[in-house]
Structure 1
Amino acid sequence: MRKIAVITGARSEYGILKPVLSAIQKHPRLKLQLVVGGMHLSKQFGYTINEIKKDGFRVAATFNTLLTGDTGARMAQSAGTGIIQFTKIFKRLKPDIVVVLGDREEPFAAAVAGLCSDIPVAHIAGGEVATGGHIDEAIRFSITKFSHIHFACTKQSAERIKKLGEEPWRVHRTGSPALDTILHALLPGKDELAKKYKIDFRKPYALVIQHPLTLEFGAPPHEMRMTLGALKELDVASIVVYPNSDTYARRMVSDIKAFEKLPFMHAYKNVPFEDYLGLLKHTSVIVGNSSSAIIEAPSFRVPAVNIGPRQGGRERAGNVIDVDYNKEHIRKAIKKALHDTRFLRKVKHLKSPYGDGHAAKKIVDILDTVKIDEALLHKKITY
């Protein structure tokens, strides 16, 4: 059997990977080797390795890269220790292919370790652009150059990967696996969500998920404080999900806690991906700077208020209202998303550029059939 090592270090990443993990696990010629660590092993972020095990996936190995600190230096140290740990893990597991997703330091480290160990690396969601104030883009394109197989989510992303000098036969347009869950999974219903998350679906509510930026000069402004302040002024019930463990994340968590006692808001360290999609499906608006406002929200015809430059340049449908870090601008954008009938009519007729909900099958078919030989391992630049 062909052994496929899949890396996950964050809850958001795991939620997107889940259809791929299931498809690998069910495949008669593939063996899943799930490698788990990072935020999944942190109590502060919900210790979500338990969620993974509860979903029926066996963990083949763990890694610990979530170091103490809240700076860019911490991210560099995390990547460095990750390369060492992944090299040891791959030496023990002997995978035939390593699969990584996205643009965090964990997939970066795993891609370096795989490349240097002569193991083909397959990268999901490369070629995407998010130009504003975040290191993600530099890491994402670095992973592309370390990888041997590319699973692009959109046509533009696939073309961008080729423009980086990658040979066209390595690039596959599969769509985003996140849409697989949206279209095929049994999401929790309103009654279950209302009880679990203390939300009244008879009234409008906002789903809030906002991450810090990591390329700003000096300490960034209190972005979360502005967002929650705008929601407070509008008296909109809000479900707030903790940010990823990026630089300045702890300060954002402190700002969330400052609002947590107010009756309009409920905050959660971790929300299982199916629950998150259920909340997104029924929300009146998603607010913050998460890519889920761009990628997943259009499938539910949900308006999005995208704050700041984090998702700048990313392909999007017509559900997004872009605003800067200004409480009054945020307040007006949320009000438009809730009450502007012309805008809401437009949102109801969206088409997502991120695929058809069958990405996992396309990805797994390629993992099964791709020829692992010298041509795959020895990359050639096309210009």
Structure 2
Amino acid sequence: MRTIQATDNIYRHQISLAAKIHFTSTNKFKSRVADLIESDQHIFNVGSLSISNIKDFIPIKKEEFLLKFKIVNKPYCLITFHPETNAFEENRVFAIEMKRALEQLSKQINLVITMPNADTMGSVYREQLLLLKEGKEEKVFLIENFGKENYFSAMYYSKFLLGNTSSGIIEAASFKKYVVNVGRRQEGRAQSKNIVNTSFKCAEILKAMNRCIKFGEYKGGNIYFKEHTAKKIVKVIKKEI
């Protein structure tokens, strides 16, 4: 439904107010939409489209995946950081704290990092990641763009996730992964029990990371998952329109 620390939250609200039919991914978001439009009619909790067919997902063979992206065959953490769009100047500090934490983390486990998106201040994070890579070619692997299938495969083979991306909140639980969710970018999203939240401070990130390493594989469920999401959406639209 929404993330508090994202500029596009305003547009999401406007679209929700204008829409006739609403599809949500959790009951929590269904309640939020009802509060926003002041009605509980025409709101359907159908789960997240991105994982509706997750049970049928088959990862790329590990050897093929690692060779394709030139990743060393050792345990790794999958990492994605984006700027916090409502904390413009703070992003410079956040990016430096991120790099400090990743330098320490690279001493324990390899890092496979997807590069920041095109949001404002994304270049600040990109700059720090490029500095992190220097002298760590066998430990740090920067990937410009995986694409969905490759990214899901990267998640499947990882030990845990770290960063502030929505994929950690929505999809990671279906891959049985714990996630260190940093900062406030995903604040407001409903969370499964695989999420360890922390601030943009090096010491706190490392503390959360060590918890995830000890946890191992996540055994719980994913609140965003429901089967046949697309079919349910089509069925509702045909009935309502």
Q: Taking structure 1 as the reference length, what is the TM-score of the superposition?
A: 0.58
- Report the equivalent of 1:353: 223
C-alpha change, 1:213 and 1:332, in structure 2 (3 Å) is same
Structure 1 residue 286: Cα displacement: 0.7
Q: Deviations over 1:118-161 (max 9, x none)?
A: xxxxxxxxxx2433x33243332222113222110011111111
Q: Do 1:176 and 1:357's aligned partners in 2 also have CA atoms closer than 8 Å?
A: no
- Report the equivalent of 2:110: 237
Greater relative contact order structure (CA < 8 Å, 6+ sep): 2
Pair 1:171-2:46 in alignment: no
Q: Which moved more, 1:207-216 or 1:312-321?
A: 312-321
Inter-partner Cα distance in structure 2 for 1:185 and 1:301: 14
Q: Deviations over 1:265-323 (max 9, x none)?
A: 11122111011011111211111001111110111110111111111232111111111
Q: Which runs of 4+ in 1 moved over 6 A?
A: none
Aligned partner of 2:94 among 210, 220, 223: 223
Q: Do 1:182 and 1:277's aligned partners in 2 also have CA atoms closer than 8 Å?
A: no
AA partner of residue 220 (structure 1):
N
Inter-partner Cα distance in structure 2 for 1:319 and 1:266: 25
- Report the equivalent of 2:67: 195
Structure 1 residue 207: Cα displacement: 0.7
AA partner of residue 246 (structure 1):
D
AA partner of residue 287 (structure 1):
L
Q: Do 1:180 and 1:358's aligned partners in 2 also have CA atoms closer than 8 Å?
A: yes
Structure 1 residues 202-213: aligned runs within 5 Å: 203-213=74-84
Pair 1:362-2:232 in alignment: yes
The runs of 5 or more residues in structure 1 that have no matched partner are: 1-127, 372-383
Q: Do 2:103 and 2:132's aligned partners in 1 also have CA atoms closer than 8 Å?
A: no
Pair 1:266-2:141 in alignment: yes
Aligned partner of 1:280 among 137, 147, 155: 155
Q: Report the secondary structure of 1:367's partner residue.
A: helix
- Report the equivalent of 1:317: 192
Q: Taking structure 2 as the reference length, what is the TM-score of the superposition?
A: 0.89
Structure 1 residue 220: Cα displacement: 2.4
Percent sequence identity is: 27
Inter-partner Cα distance in structure 2 for 1:228 and 1:192: 29
The runs of 5 or more residues in structure 2 that have no matched partner are: none
Q: Report the secondary structure of 2:223's partner residue.
A: coil
Structure 1 residue 208: Cα displacement: 0.8
Structure 1 residues 77-116: aligned runs within 5 Å: none
Inter-partner Cα distance in structure 2 for 1:320 and 1:306: 7
C-alpha change, 1:191 and 1:217, in structure 2 (3 Å) is closer
Structure 1 residue 219: Cα displacement: 4.9
Inter-partner Cα distance in structure 1 for 2:68 and 2:193: 31
AA partner of residue 353 (structure 1):
I
Inter-partner Cα distance in structure 2 for 1:357 and 1:151: 14
**RMSD of aligned Cα (Å):** 2.0
Structure 1 residue 181: Cα displacement: 4.0
Q: Do 2:112 and 2:140's aligned partners in 1 also have CA atoms closer than 8 Å?
A: yes
Inter-partner Cα distance in structure 1 for 2:97 and 2:69: 23
Q: Which structure has the greater CA radius of gyration?
A: 1
C-alpha change, 1:368 and 1:188, in structure 2 (3 Å) is farther
Inter-partner Cα distance in structure 1 for 2:30 and 2:240: 18
Q: Do 2:88 and 2:121's aligned partners in 1 also have CA atoms closer than 8 Å?
A: no
AA partner of residue 212 (structure 1):
P
